[in-house]
């Protein structure tokens, strides 16, 4: 298994080559939502959602799955890292703001879907601060990216939103850790 960091562009290429119609950010958001709320078999649950049909013998699909296994391993390691090294898999900072904002929006949609898919959608399962974070994430998922312009204020706002999402995901992850351990 490679320790090389998987980049957003690589994931995008692999998903497209495997004919999957979701962005790399959305796939990563889905994984993060599952990691935050599912007790076990997150990788299997993620793959079952992404690959409902077996693609045995499809080399492009197999390469995509290898890349996504690396994403899974890196994301899990970063979420459990005491140095708080977790980061969202998004388009690079050099890309146009609308593309990056679309990635943020897609990540939010995937995250919320993953939380729901894992059965974590029950409001009582979360603290007040986590519920508020999930509401904020759902608001960000409705962001109008077409209204964004390439200016310093918008750049700063997108950076703050991205940092908020990173912290919110970590909050949910650590809050649910005790509940995951109790279920295991």
Contacts of 47 (CB under 8 A, 6+ apart): 65, 68
Say whether pLDDT at 103 is over 80. yes
The CA–CA distances, whole Å, from 52 to 20, 44, 46, 125, 159 equal: 11, 11, 10, 28, 34
Q: Structural domain boundaries of the chain? A: 8-183
Instruction: Give the three-state DSSP class for 142.
Output: coil
What is the pTM (predicted TM-score) of this model? Answer: 0.91
What does the pLDDT look like over 62-100, one tens digit per residue? 999 999 999 999 999 999 887 778 999 999 999 999 999
- Other C-beta atoms within 10 Å of 89: how many? 25
Give me the pLDDT at residue 38, please.
73
CATH of the structural domain 8-183, one choice from 1.20.120.740, 3.40.50.1860, 3.20.20.70, 1.10.3720.10 = 1.20.120.740
Instruction: State both tokens at 30.
Output: 């889905």
* 121 pLDDT tier (thresholds 50, 70, 90): low
Instruction: State both tokens at 88.
Output: 């969202």
More confident call, 5 vs 46: 46
């Amino acid at each position: 298994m490679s320790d090389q960091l998987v980049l957003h562009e690589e994931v995008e290429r692999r998903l497209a080559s495997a004919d999957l119609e979701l962005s790399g950010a959305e796939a990563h958001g889905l994984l993060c939502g599952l990691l935050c709320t599912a007790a076990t078999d997150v990788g299997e649950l993620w793959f079952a959602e992404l690959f409902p049909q077996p693609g045995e013998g499809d080399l492009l699909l197999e390469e995509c799955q290898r890349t996504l296994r690396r994403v899974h391993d890196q994301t899990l390691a970063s979420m459990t890292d005491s140095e708080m090294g977790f980061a969202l898999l998004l388009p690079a900072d050099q890309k146009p703001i609308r593309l990056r904002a679309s990635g943020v929006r897609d990540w939010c949609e995937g995250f919320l879907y993953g939380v729901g898919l894992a059965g974590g959608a029950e409001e009582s399962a979360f603290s007040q601060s986590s519920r508020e974070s999930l509401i904020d994430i759902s608001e960000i998922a409705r962001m109008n990216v077409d209204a964004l312009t390439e200016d310093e204020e918008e750049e700063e706002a997108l950076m703050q939103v991205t940092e908020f999402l990173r912290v919110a995901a970590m909050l949910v992850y650590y809050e649910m850790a005790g509940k995951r351990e109790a279920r295991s």
